[in-house]
């Protein structure tokens, strides 16, 4: 059978039937399947799409598909297939391939596959040597390099006829979120949320809105009443709009926000002390709750403390700011609680310093300490 298309047939398929739009619609649906963790259904669909993109000579999109297939195979514990697909992706399109290596590295890091994450991060840097130059790829920290890479990636996608404004929203979201994690600018988190929303990545959007609120709260310094409102908004965003399938990341963020809210309550109770016995009782309750929420207590085993949750995240657990927070709680006597507001203010400050190293639903990468 002759599989060669005539010029007239190609024009009809591409122009009149708008083949690219049809394929793009199916690709978008495949992304939804991945978001629903329907890995085998996702693989079946994208495998069928590859010949269509091949026909359209869209190597950059084939590279994106290979990357998505690699993540599905990682979820299915098939590392050899994932490696091959990432290699094929980089061969098809260097920019999309490098992005796939970076995303795969992040995925493995949050799955406690640290060696595999390091392998993919090394490949990401190796690709960046060609794309950005050795002087950039081999000298700057991981997060700085990711920001630089994604900035240039979205500029190239914006200039390409193959990417409409709606087709690279996820990459734009990643760029602005990485910028936010590097600069701690709450407006970058807000912009990332808008792009994720446009890409229908609703859990990622909610995660960024959560971080927008808590990053804004840190900048308020001692305005604890307003900070409490922001932490409550963040907790609502996280619990109501991120679904139920985000596991350990959602758990540690939820616990952190509960601790932040209770710390604001503690400061308010200390401000209103002035010999009030009822306030003293509230302060004691606050300190005991905070100690349980961070360090844990045999009296309340139903509460999984931040200490245990953080073990899953070396990007947080190894930080000096985290160790200083734990040392602070180790020095507090919860039997005879301190009644000085300066102690609670110090606690709030230590929680502020931990915040840049928290995981999001998208990234674990953190700035240099």
**CA gap 274, 217 in Å, rounded:** 27
- How many Å is the maximal CA-CA distance in the chain? 93
pLDDT category of residue 244 using cuts at 50, 70 and 90 = low
Kind plus residue range of the DSSP H or E element containing 49: helix 39-55
**CA gap 192, 18 in Å, rounded:** 30
pLDDT category of residue 53 using cuts at 50, 70 and 90 = confident
pLDDT tens by residue, 113-147: 889 999 999 999 999 999 999 989 889 999 999 99
* Most confident among 16-20, 73-77, 221-225 (mean pLDDT): 73-77
Kind plus residue range of the DSSP H or E element containing 347: helix 341-354
pLDDT tens by residue, 254-295: 999 999 999 999 999 998 887 677 778 899 899 989 999 999
Listed as own residue / partner, the contacts of 134-143 with beta carbons closer than 8 Å and 24 or more positions apart are 141/367, 141/368, 142/365, 143/178, 143/181, 143/182, 143/365, 143/366, 143/367, 143/368
Mean pLDDT of the chain: 89
pLDDT for 165: 65
* Residues found in the chain: 369
**CA gap 100, 352 in Å, rounded:** 32
Helix/strand number for the chain, H first, E second: 19, 0
pLDDT for 24: 80
pLDDT for 54: 87
Which region among 11-25, 119-133, 342-356 has the lowest average model confidence (pLDDT)? 11-25
Q: What single-letter DSSP state applies at residue 170?
A: H
pLDDT at 1 over 50: no
- Residue with the bigger pLDDT between 346 and 166: it is 346
**CA gap 296, 306 in Å, rounded:** 8
Q: Judge whether 55 and 91 are in contact, CB under 8 Å.
A: no
Q: Judge whether 65 and 27 are in contact, CB under 8 Å.
A: yes
pLDDT category of residue 166 using cuts at 50, 70 and 90 = low
CB atoms within 10 A of CB 161: 5
Which region among 7-21, 61-75, 83-97, 304-318 has the lowest average model confidence (pLDDT)? 7-21
pLDDT at 35 over 80: no
pLDDT tens by residue, 201-240: 899 999 999 999 999 999 987 788 999 999 999 999 999 9
pLDDT for 32: 82
């Amino acid at each position: 059978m002759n599989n060669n298309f005539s010029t007239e047939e190609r024009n009809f398929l591409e122009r009149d039937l708008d083949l690219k739009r049809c394929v793009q619609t199916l690709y978008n649906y495949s992304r939804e399947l991945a978001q629903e963790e329907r890995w085998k259904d996702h693989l079946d669909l994208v495998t069928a799409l590859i010949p269509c993109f091949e026909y359209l000579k869209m190597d950059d999109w084939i590279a994106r598909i290979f990357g998505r297939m690699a993540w599905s195979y990682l979820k299915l514990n098939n590392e050899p297939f994932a490696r091959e697909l990432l290699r094929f992706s980089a061969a098809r399109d260097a920019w999309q391939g490098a992005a796939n290596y970076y995303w795969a590295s992040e995925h493995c890091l949050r799955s406690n596959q640290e060696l595999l994450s390091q392998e993919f991060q090394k490949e990401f840097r190796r690709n960046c040597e060609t794309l950005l130059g050795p002087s950039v790829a081999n000298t700057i920290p991981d997060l700085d390099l990711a920001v630089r890479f994604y900035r240039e990636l979205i500029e190239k996608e914006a200039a390409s006829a193959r990417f409409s404004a709606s087709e690279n929203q996820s990459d734009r979201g990643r760029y602005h979120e990485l910028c936010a994690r590097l600069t701690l600018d709450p407006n970058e988190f807000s912009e990332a949320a808008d792009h994720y929303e446009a890409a229908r990545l609703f859990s990622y959007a909610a995660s960024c809105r959560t971080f927008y609120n808590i990053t804004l709260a840190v900048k308020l310094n001692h305005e604890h009443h307003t900070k409490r409102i922001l932490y409550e908004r963040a907790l609502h965003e996280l619990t109501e709009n991120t679904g139920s399938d985000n596991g350990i990341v959602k758990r540690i963020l939820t616990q952190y926000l509960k601790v932040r809210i209770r710390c604001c309550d503690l400061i308010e109770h200390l401000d209103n002390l002035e010999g009030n016995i009822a306030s003293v009782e509230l302060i004691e309750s606050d300190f005991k709750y905070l100690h349980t929420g961070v360090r844990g207590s045999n009296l309340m085993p139903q509460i999984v403390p931040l200490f245990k949750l953080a073990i899953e995240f070396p990007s947080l657990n190894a930080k000096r700011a985290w160790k200083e927070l734990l040392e602070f709680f180790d020095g507090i006597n919860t039997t005879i609680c301190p009644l000085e507001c300066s102690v609670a203010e110090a606690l709030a400050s230590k929680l502020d310093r931990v915040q840049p190293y928290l995981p999001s639903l998208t990234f674990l990468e953190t700035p240099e300490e």
